[in-house]
Structure formats: C-alpha cells, structure tokens
Structure 1
Amino acid sequence: MRYHACIVRIYFVRHGETSYNKEGRLQGDRDIPLSETGKAQSKAVAERLWEEFDRVGEKPAAIYTSLLSRSLDTAKIIGEELQVSPSPVQGLQEMDLGEWEGKTPSELKDSYFDVQNRPLFLQWKEDPTEIRVPGGESIQDVEKRVTSSLEQIITLHGSTDNVVIVTHCGPISVVLAGLLNGSLKDAAKIKQDSTSVTVLEVDGDLYHSRVLSVNDSSHLERLKSRES
C-alpha cells in the first residue's frame, strides 16, 4: 500500500560497538552500553554523515533511534554533529533473543537442541523463519513492528527529505532481507558492522525502495589511521 508519492532517503546506522559485540555475545534487547571504542566509532560516523549532508547543502530532516542506550547514545553523538535532536521510537528495538541473550554462538551450539538433537542456533542462522528463539521474538514479530514503525516515519516526511535512523543489526537485516531477497529466510546472515551505514531511497512506502548502499563502514578506516 502506498501512503503518498514522495522520495525519502533513509540512512540506517547500526549502533557503535559494545562489550558484548567485542566478546561475540548475543545482545538482543539487553541494554548494553557503548564501549569506548563504540563511542569513537559513533563520532567517526557522525563526522562522515556531516560531510555527506554538507556536500548537498542540507542537514537531515530528523534522526530516529531505538530506545536502547547503545543506539540512543550513538544517535546523540550523531545529533550533536548534525545539530538535530534524536527522537526515540519503540519499534526500532533489537530483536528479543530470550534465553540466548548474553551467550556466545559456541555456548548456544552446545546448549539448545531440537527433538532430533540438532543445534537450534545453527538452524536459526540458516532459516530464522522456522525457529522461534526460546523466550524471545520470532523474526516475523520483528519484521511486523519494524515495518510498522518505519512506515509511520515515512508518512511524516515529504519529498526529498533525508532521515537518519540509528538502530540494530536485526531491524536493518529484516528490511534488507525483504527488499533484496523477498524473504526473511536469510535475515540472520546479513552482516551489519558497528556504525555501518545502509542507505535506501523510499518511493512512497518501505517496500517501494531502492537500495543505494549496504553495510558501508568506510569511515572506520579513518578511525584506524588516527589510532595507528
């Protein structure tokens, strides 16, 4: 369904690194804060976005963010650079991973099995549409709430608006899986680096979109050169 004819460019930004990211632990919707590295990454992506918007002579119409602190603090750092205050949106939260939160993939492979004694985590990575995380959300639940939130955001903006959305790997991946593959089956395989930028050009509604870039973290090379 199209709500109105317009072109809105969405800049998705994954939050900066946390201690869980560094340790390879699943975060889900646990409120894990940015690490010092994550704060530096957030500053780097903020500078990169400022340069991009400065080239076209306008700042974004809005910045939206998940309520989890790692996303909110990334958005605040970006907002300070762009002089736009972030607006929290509940539906942009990361996927609730239930009993798996705080665990590493190797721990999960040894802990959760189906009736045929196959590791649930590996099956979920292969096709999350067939497996519901114990005590957590299904991938279909995530798509429904994320899509609803994004479509509400799109209706608030007119033609040629640029919008920054700071969120998590899960929400970005379900959108990309639907756009690129027409299915959520590969959503758990889509990679999103810390503070990576994914850009969509939305024509009226979310699923009339053109993907302009995916998982662009080129700004982190500049950060590495500063540290060397």
Structure 2
Amino acid sequence: MISFQSIHRNQIMCINNSEAQAANYLTTAFKRTFDDVRVLTGVVLPLPEGARLATAEYDCIVICNAGVYLFEVKGWNQCLVGREKVEAGHQWYLEQANGDRKHVNDPVAQGSEKFQAMKGYLDARIAIKYYVVLPGTDVQISPTLPATILTAQDISYIPRLCNSATKASKMYQKLDRETVALLADYIKEKSGVLTLNEHIANCNRFQLQKKAARHASGSGLMAISVAPACCD
C-alpha cells in the first residue's frame, strides 16, 4: 500500500492526467449512445458509519439514461496487468516488458465499499455498475481478469452494453433528462464541501492506524485487524 505522504508530485500529476483522460474518453463514448449524459470527476462522498474510511473518492461517475456508472481510474502505463492465485485469494501485479513485476492492490476489491455506498444513495430501480479503467499507453490486460477491467480501447463498447442491460432488465428503469440532471445535482449535494485534501487526510490517518496495529502486533499486544483501504 502506498501512503499518500510518499507519492511524489509527478505521480499525483500523472494520476490527475489519467483521470482527465479517462473522463474525456467516457464522455465521448457515452454521448454517442445516450441523449443525456453527466460526467462527474473527483467526487468525495462520506461513507456509512463503520466503514474503514470516513470518505471515498470517486474518480469518474457517469450518469446517463441507462443509470449510474462508477469508474475507478488507474494511471498504469507500459505494462501487463494480471493476477495470480495466492493463499489469501489473488495477488494483482503489473509486469514490465523485462519480466519485472510490481504488486498492486486489487482495484475491484478496492471499489466494493464505494459501490455499496453509492448504491445506498440511489433508488433500487436505478442501474448501477462499477468498472476499472486503464487509460494509459501500452497497457495490456490478462485474459483471466474480470470483464469490468477496461483499457481505453474497451470503453466504446461499455455504453452500448449498459444500454442493452437496462433495456432488458425488469428491475431497472430508463432515466429521463430531468432525472439524469437531478441525480448529478444530488450526488454533488451529498459531496457538499468535502475536498480531496480531506480524503487524503483520512487515508493518512488510516495508514497510521495500520502502522500502529502492526506495531502492537509486533509487541505481543492484540492488534486491530484492518483491511486494505481504497485510497491509492
């Protein structure tokens, strides 16, 4: 897990550039399929009481006639993204051309808490889905990865898939222009005055809690079990 305190300014700029790039791709793709599209970026929302973090950042949220779609953006470049089985489940990795591997957190698991939180804000008749977008250059994905992991080349297919799924569903209803606008305003209202800096501060507090738990464990004291946070 990378602490926000250790992220270099250039890395932060890279992350921001990746999110802007993904937002442009998503806006273009969804507007080809739907009449009404709103794209929100960098939205920070409060998480329910008892969650591992007090807040969550949503990189890109697309609200359209088919529903609400959450996109986690990863600024990975020039690598193969894969996962391998380990005792605890799956370990995700980035493999360079020379075969070197770097372990990374599972982006699907990272988004589960955010997905459930957003689902709690919405009417059950509104479709909601979570994807991971890799808009970087020369990124390949292992064929064994979930279908919700997307490269830039995959994005154009997603709006049509969302449209077909909502049309075929007996549970979800199509949203009109007014509802799309109201949902976008509602999400922004829920975000209120929360900022990315506050979210980063929450992540840093979480990291300190993890460090204290490890120290307590090493000292023979009972450590608090803390699951990985979705803040990298």
Give TM-score, length-normalised by structure 2.
0.31
Which of 1 and 2 has higher RCO (CA within 8 Å, sep 6+)?
1
Specify the structure having the higher radius of gyration (Cα): 2
Give TM-score, length-normalised by structure 1.
0.31
